[in-house]
Amino acid sequence: MSAATLNPAAAKASAKGLRRPASLQGHERLATVVVLLLTLLLVGALVSDRFRSLGNLQNVYEQSVGLALISLGQTVVILTGGIDLSVGSLISLLSVLTSGLIDGHPERITDVVAGILLLGLAVGGLNGLLTIWLGVHPLIVTLGTGAALQGLTLLYSSDSAGSVPPSFEFFAYGRVLGMPAGATLTLLVFLVVAFLLRGTRQGRYVFAVGGDPNAATLLGLPTRRVLVSVYAFSGLCAATTALYVVSRFGVGQPYTGANYTLASITPVVIGGTLLAGGKGGVMGTLLGVYLMALLNNLLNFLDISSHYQLVIQGVIVIVAVSAFTGRRARRS
């Protein structure tokens, strides 16, 4: 890392970055997602009349909540230059705990939900603390904690556990003024986080730590506190995703989160946030989430099996990542 700061090429690159307003680069990345999203909507509307119905679009909006919430936490972690590979296992653990502990009793909902949110926050914070204390790359730390969490999940229950009362379904299926409540709440959360990141000092620390951790430390920024906070936030997001999953399916399952680990990274990358940290934002991620949700929806209508959807998702990650990182490599 010290080699990178001494590297004259890197210094030149950052000087170039200074001359070029960062906002323009951000808009350029957002514009890419918007264009992709519009293209997909257009193509979808042309090839499938079921796709273009308003009811369908509302369904996609409603079903994007889980991916949106988990990608939100992942974005903030990636902005600091880290990664959280434990989210999938954490969602699995918290979802079996939610339905297992509520076990059909409506009066337990408040306590359990509060407990699950706190647990998510704590596990996430632990990831952050381990990264700092041990000096190990977050990739390895969260790979390890992810394995441990998956093991704990299976120890708690190797099959779907408990159940939730019908009122719990409001998060996933509830409507307020005809609009999906959960999805609209999620949209608002994204707007709030976007504001906090751009408009507050603490938020800008996140970008500073991701841009150059050594410089951030030298400037006296609370690097450690920022890191613990972002991982704790990611854990909190995993908890809300777990609640959404239970709300949607009515029960928690021990492998329900498995696909979320890669899935949470895809929209972040498509949304133009750099994996190296320091550049990007949550609104791009939200558009990336809508893009992935619409794409899967369209593939369903075209009768393409879920197996191929997995292939397509992987290919999109490869293309998106190599497009963005390739561009960065040329610039420097």
Partner 1 sequence: MDSILAATAVRSQVSPAPARWLAVARRHAGICVAVLFLAAASVAAPSLFKAGNLANMALQFAPLGIVVVGQMLVILVRGLDLSVSSVMATSAVMATAFSGRDADLVWIVPLAIGLGAMVGATNGLLVTKRNVSPFLATLATMIVLQGARNAWTQGAPSGNVPPLLRALGAGMTAGIPNNAVALLVIAALTFVLLHLSTFGRRVYLVGGSPNAARLVGIAVDRVTITAYVMSGIFAAIAGLVLAGYVSVVDNWVGKNFELDSIVAAVMGGIALSGGKGGVGGALMGAAILVVLSNAVVIVGLPIHVQLVMKGFIIVLAAALYAAKSRRAR
Q: Which residues bind partner 1 (CB under 8 A)?
A: 3, 83, 130, 133-137, 139-141, 143-152, 154-155, 158, 262, 265, 269, 275, 305, 307-315, 317-318, 321-322, 325-326, 328-329
Rounded distance, CA 207 to CA 120, Å?
23
Q: Pick between residue 140 and residue 176 the one whose CB is nearest to partner 1.
A: 140
Are 289 and 71 contacting, i.e. CB atoms less than 8 angstroms apart?
yes
The rounded distance, in Å, linking the Cα atoms of 117 and 115 is 5
Judged by CB, which is closer to partner 1: 36, or 317?
Answer: 317
Contact 84, 142 (CB under 8 A): yes
Q: 39 or 322: whose CB is closer to partner 1?
A: 322
Q: Please report how close the Cβ of residue 235 comes to partner 1 at its closest, in angstroms.
A: 16
| In contact, 332 and 315? CB cutoff 8 Å | no
Nearer to partner 1 by Cβ, of 184 and 259: the residue is 259
Distance from CA of residue 293 to its chain's centroid?
14
Q: Which helix (H) or strand (E) holds 176?
A: strand 175-176
Question: In the bound complex, what is the minimum distance in angstroms from residue 71's beta carbon to partner 1?
Answer: 15
User: Up-side HSE of residue 28: CA atoms within 13 Å toward CB?
Assistant: 9
Residue of 90, 100, 96, 178 whose CA lies nearest to 142: 90
Quote the least distance from Cβ 138 to partner 1, whole Å.
11
Residue placing its CB nearer to partner 1 in the complex, 187 or 321: 321
CB of 157 to partner 1, least distance (A): 10
Give the nearest distance from C-beta 9 to partner 1 in angstroms: 10
Measured between alpha carbons, how far is 13 from 36 in angstroms, rounded to an integer? 28
Q: How far is the CB of 255 from partner 1 (least distance, A)?
A: 11
Closest CB to partner 1 among 114 and 136? Answer: 136
> What is the rounded distance in angstroms from the CA atom of residue 222 to the CA atom of residue 213?
10
Q: Dihedral sign for Cα 190, 196, 197, 203, please.
A: negative
